Chains A and B, each alone.
Chain A
Amino acid sequence: MSELATSTPPMDQAEINRTLRRALRRFLPYLRPHAGWIALATLVTILSSIMTIAQMYAVMLGVGHVVTGNMEAVASTAINLVILAVLDNIIRITYNVAMIRVNERVTVTLRNDLVARLHNVQLSRHVSQASGTWVTRVLFEAERFRGYITKTGMELVQSAVWFIAFAVFLLALSPGVALPTLIVIPIMVFIALRWTRHLKTDTQRQRDAWDTMVGYLNQRIDGLDDVRAFGREDDLMADLEGRSAGYTTVHNRLSTKRLWLTSYLGFTVHIALALLIFFGGLQIINGHALGSGFFFDLAAGMMPMTWMLLGTDTMMASMGMAQGAALAAGTLAAFALFSKRMLNPVRDVANLLGQSSDMAVSAQRILEVLDLPEEDDTGYDLGQVRGHLQVENVDFAYADGVEVLHDVSLEAQPGEHIGVVGASGAGKTTLMQLLVRFYTPTSGTIRLDGHDLSEVTKTSVRDQVLLVTQEALLFDGTVAENIRFGRPEATEDEIVQAARAVGADEVLAGLRDGYQTRVGERGARLSTGERQLVALTRAMLADPRVIILDEAVSSVDPARQLVVLAAIRRLLEGRTAIVVAHWLTLVEDLDRVFVLEDGRVTESGTPVELLTSDSRLAELCKVQTRHPVGRN
């Protein structure tokens, strides 16, 4: 089974914390280049909290001035409020621009790293993992995770700053009012944060249920043709409906819990407001003017900053303003007006903490990709070779330990064409992949012009040795673009020359838009034969010394078979070639043939020797000519 499961097993708290700590260490480098912007955003966040307090304060003063009938001061407060709004929005846009920049850069870098890593891991990793899962990780998980690392940090900072600023402000106004409020609010907040524990389990359950459903849909979409063929549409619908119902239960449970948190905090705001009205009002009626002593000391202390924010006039006016009832009215007004903003940060933090398990899952999935071992590219540069290929006593086993090749030896002199034949599962594909250093032999050596392939860089091996596979995989793009993949710097002219050299020019130029014909996803708009001609031209353009060819002429439509065959012959001319051959004609072209059975070379010799003897090769050939098998 694949080592990357679609759904990640549930984690306990210790594991979540461990993963998050590890993730933090690993992802700090992504944030570091943007330290300046992040610092700016943090600074601006602090200013933003102060700005909100300043607005509250201005309203408070404004109402106070109305009570005392100081209209001049009301006018300047009004103007100050406008200035504050402008400043507030300058701060906000600065924050947004900084964070948009950081977010986008981090997402791009993270995605690019994921893409690069996926391109550079060993081929076997791809076999063991459906590409859909990879794609999801590159696109969605990267985005989600980026959201967590940038947003989470910022929101925590914002909330903390806001709480401190708010508490200081409240205490400054009147300890008598502040204390009941400041005692009750933390208790309410504490309850909210305790609640997040319930969110955590359900968040994780929801994520699992979601992953299961996506995995399920992904597989079913793959099988739609079969479902139609067997008329199983209704069963499938019923199955999907059952699963949707299961997911809905989990989802609704989480939503309900989240909603309780929101409603609870919504009510908490009113508790705070009620406390303020009652205690604040009571103090005034009892003759303790709000904002006496401590408040004015602090106001004076804050003056330089407040002066900058509010302007001198207001400050001076506020110092001389009548105390007591006026200020009380103003305070109540300010709190009534800003009450909603008070507890929103608590809700955000509580929700965020509830998502920590989800964050850990995201982190783990991204790290799984980033931590995949890269294909080994150490060694020295091979340089230009003549094409002398030697396989010496090679054994090979995949990661699961099952040995696929045993003691395989073969040799191709420069320019020689060697055939490898054998039933499916004999190890042909594995052997071919070893020759281009997709894998390294478990024991034994593969040499090219005497250089041990495991000691030279994979890049320099693949510059000289080219694997041409059966499927002739193409990218969505034009024919020319697909051919140019063999040598990116090639000119249009060189592309046409390469096509001429393999004899594919006539066919390719004859396509609807010639070389500019779009091939469609995976080359679906071309026939099998046309696809192979593009692949062969691409190989010709790359001009390697050695070609490893998995010949698949038999799957080509009859009309194109001869052209493809001729193209193969021209491509191989003058190069060393290892051909996994299915066609007799091609076998006859070869200098020597090796028969592979269950991972061992069981026969070798010239085609003529083998075909005329009582060999396995001769037997394989006869299979096709033998007449039918039990017809009804």
Chain B
Amino acid sequence: MKESLHALRFIYGYPLRYRGAMAVATVTMLLGLLSTIAIPLVIRVAIDAGVLGGNPGLLLAVALGVLGIGALSAGLLHLGKQLRFTVASKAVNDLRHDLFRKLLHLGPADTAEASGGRALTRLVSDAVFVRGLTNGGILELANQIIVTAVMYLVALLIDVRTTLLASLPLIVVVLGNLIVQGRLQRMFVEVKGQFTNLLSGVGESLTNIGVVKAFGREDDASGRLNKINEELSARRGVMKTTYSRWEAILNVVGALPTPIALWLGGNAVLDGQITVGSLVALTALVMMVQMSMHMVTMHANGIFRSVVIAQRLLRIIDARPAITEVSGSRPMPSPTGALTADGVVVEIGERRVIDDVSLAVAAGESVALIGPTGSGKTTLLHALARLRDTQAGTVSYDGVDVREYDLRSVRHQVVSLPQRQWIFEGTMADNIRFARPDATAEEVADAAEAAGLGRFSLTRELAANAADLSAGERQRVGLARVLLVDPAVLLLDNPTANLDAETEAELLDTIFRVRRGRTLIIATQQLAVSRHVDRVITLNDGALVETASLPAEDTSAVRSLAPAGRPEGGQAHV
């Protein structure tokens, strides 16, 4: 319950950022809705004085009155709705931007919600949910409740007994709806979950299509998805049918007020307590109350569901960011490139990924960081580049704690290239310039040339996912980006992974050529890399095992890389 409230408060925070506009919109719409209550009242006049009283002039007046009320209510509702959906668009954008900003500051390991397909669903379809909440939701619910109350009051003024008795069934409808909503809420969560399963199932199957085809298991793979699909459909069918059944029962109960009003009101007319016109007005009001109640349940329904969506969004918003900016940070002065880590501990979730690592790298030194998969190499690089905060210990450049510097300036001096370079739809030049948008065409061309991309035209259009670039060429795009930024420290994460020997050699050649005196740390599993560097550091289970100086071949760290008993000592690639 407390969580639900938290979720609601969070999601309503977005439309309520535009409090003024929302207030005006809500009041305008309320007036628009209230003005429609006048219609039954003027019809009362039309019947009593116009038709039964034989007064054509009055009929014309009433007809014009109906037009006037119609224009007024349509106008007010129009203004209110227009204002509201303008706010709704802003609220959706705000939420989407907040989510995206948060995603930018999370590491992929921090929350499952932040990974590819899910993140997209949250940003795209879940964020849009706020639109519905702004246009309907709690404020509309409040409006409907007020309107219902006023209608009820007017009906009471016409005839207390008839109104009271006629509205009794509505109590049953309200209570019934609350119970049904509680049940549907659970089903809704299940359906949403099953949908996510289908989403990731299809994504996975298509990513692995090569394996599926190799084993000729196309039918099994699609069969597996069909099962999820059937399950999703079955659950949604049950949810909708359940809702529909309850709705029908409650509708029948909800329809009772009209005949009750007709019967009791009819008697009141005969007794001379009210006029025929009043009876019609009363019946109309009771029907309007009934419809309003229906709207009330619809909006309540939307609020129940918004809790589910809001809770999913909160998993992203509430996740601990990988870094927190300290106030009063200053720009990083041009560093020499000397860096030290002192007792660094990094925890991701419950797991201690880096455990008390200390090391010092001199300005301009090149270091290979070696260790098996999962040993924490990438995380250590992230900690050094302050892509992730440490839970204990410090990372310093030229003796100053990196946290004292403003993040943006750190990124200009310390660049940590991820293992897989991101290529987006656009030209080669766009992709390189991404690292420094204000770079001139000449600078981009120079960087491309130096990174070994000279054979590509800079105006060449690249596809998303860069299906047309080889692994080596992707790495070169990353290097060209680095050259544009010109940092003092360069951290590379397994740049030669999945490259064949020749490409690896060429790429390493480029890496050491473009290094130009920068401090360089390369996380790697390839022995070949360690031959190029000044020093080799081994990481195992998040702890530093050994640091060694050249010649690298003599250290046990390097020997452990090469399977024993092999001819020629090292691994020879073909």
Contacts and interface: CB of A to CB of B under 8 A. Distances in A.
Contacts of B213: 123, 436, 438, 462
B422 interface: yes
Given A66-B269, A274-B67, A333-B280, A473 B211 contact: yes
A123 B207 CA distance: 11
B244 A100 contact: yes
Contacts of A332: 43, 46-47, 51, 280
Contact of B502 (A244, A278, A423): A423
A35 interface: no
A462 B214 contact: yes
Contacts of B70: 266-267, 269-271, 273-274
B372 interface: yes
B209 A126 contact: yes
15 contacts: A63-B279, A75-B263, A88-B251, A112-B222, A118-B206, A128-B467, A135-B202, A217-B124, A222-B424, A230-B415, A230-B481, A241-B93, A333-B280, A488-B217, A630-B509
Contacts of B267: 71
A325 B78 contact: no
Given A248-B93, A277-B66, A337-B287, A135 B226 contact: no
Interface in A41-70: 59, 62-63, 65-67, 69
B562 A558 contact: yes
Contacts, number: 473
Contacts of B74: 263-264, 266-267, 270
Interface string B485-509: 1000000000001111111010011
B67 A270 contact: yes
Given A229-B385, A244-B93, A471-B210, 11 more contacts: A85-B251, A97-B241, A118-B206, A119-B219, A237-B101, A337-B287, A542-B215, A554-B571, A555-B498, A585-B566, A623-B502
Contacts of B508: 628-629
A256 B248 contact: no
Interface string A267-284: 101110111011011101
A313 to B, nearest CB: 14
Contact of B81 (A259, A473, A486): A259
A133 B424 CA distance: 15
B205 to A, nearest CB: 7
Nearest to B323: A228
Contacts of A259: 78, 81-82, 85
Contact of A328 (B51, B89, B256): B51
Interface stretch (B13-21, B103-111, B171-179, B344-352): B103-111
B249 to A, nearest CB: 8
Contacts of B256: 82, 85
B361 interface: no
Given A241-B97, A557-B372, A90 B248 contact: yes
Given A337-B283, A476-B204, A233 B512 contact: no
A355 to B, nearest CB: 17
Contacts of A111: 229
B324 interface: no
A1 B466 CA distance: 11
Interface in A149-164: none
Interface stretch (A20-28, A101-109, A187-195, A386-394): A101-109
Contact of A329 (B200, B203, B276, B372): B276
Contacts of B422: 222-223, 225-227
B572 A625 contact: yes
A583 B59 contact: no
B435 interface: yes
Interface in B257-271: 258-260, 262-263, 265-267, 269-270
Contacts of A65: 266
Interface in A70-89: 71, 74-75, 77-79, 81-82, 85-86, 88-89
B464 interface: yes
Contacts of A63: 262, 276, 279-280, 283
Contacts of A167: none
Nearest to B85: A255
Given A274-B67, A333-B280, A119 B222 contact: yes
A123 B209 contact: yes
A468 interface: yes
Contacts of B165: none
Contacts of B461: 1
B237 interface: yes
Contacts of B46: 277, 281, 332
Nearest to B124: A214
A259 B276 CA distance: 37
Interface string A305-345: 00000000000000000000100110011001100100000
Contact of B505 (A248, A284, A626): A626
Give the one of A90, A236, A241, A278 with max B CB within 10 A: A278
A461 to B, nearest CB: 8
Interface stretch (A10-18, A357-365, A502-510, A522-530): A522-530
Given A71-B270, A329-B276, A473-B211, A278 B481 contact: no
A134 B276 CA distance: 64
Interface in B268-287: 269-270, 276-277, 279-280, 283-284, 287
B116 to A, nearest CB: 6
Contacts of A97: 241, 244
Interface string B446-465: 00000000000000010111
B67 A126 contact: no
Given A222-B116, A281-B59, A628-B531, A273 B104 contact: no
A552 interface: yes
A517 interface: no
Contact of B245 (A93, A469, A528): A93
Contacts of A234: 408
B497 A555 contact: yes
Given A229-B416, A463-B216, A521 B251 contact: no
B363 interface: no
B418 A226 contact: yes
Nearest to A252: B89
A624 B51 contact: no
A612 interface: no
Q: 10 closest pairs, A vs B, by CB?
A: A231-B411, A270-B70, A223-B422, A85-B255, A78-B259, A462-B216, A629-B509, A527-B373, A333-B280, A278-B63
A521 B105 CA distance: 22
Contacts of A474: 208
Given A132-B120, A273-B66, A467 B214 contact: yes
Interface string B397-440: 00000000001101110011110111011000000001111000
A430 interface: no
Contact of A583 (B216, B418, B499, B574): B574
A230 B60 CA distance: 74
A240 B97 contact: yes
A560 to B, nearest CB: 8
Nearest to B572: A584
B374 A527 contact: yes
A103 B71 CA distance: 39
B334 interface: no
Contact of B39 (A85, A90, A336, A438): A336
Contacts of B259: 77-79, 81-82
B410 A78 contact: no
B412 A78 contact: no
Contacts of B418: 225-226, 229
A625 B532 contact: no
Contacts of B143: none
Contacts of B373: 527-529, 557
Nearest to A248: B89
B532 A135 contact: no
A116 interface: yes
B51 A230 contact: no
Contacts of B478: 226
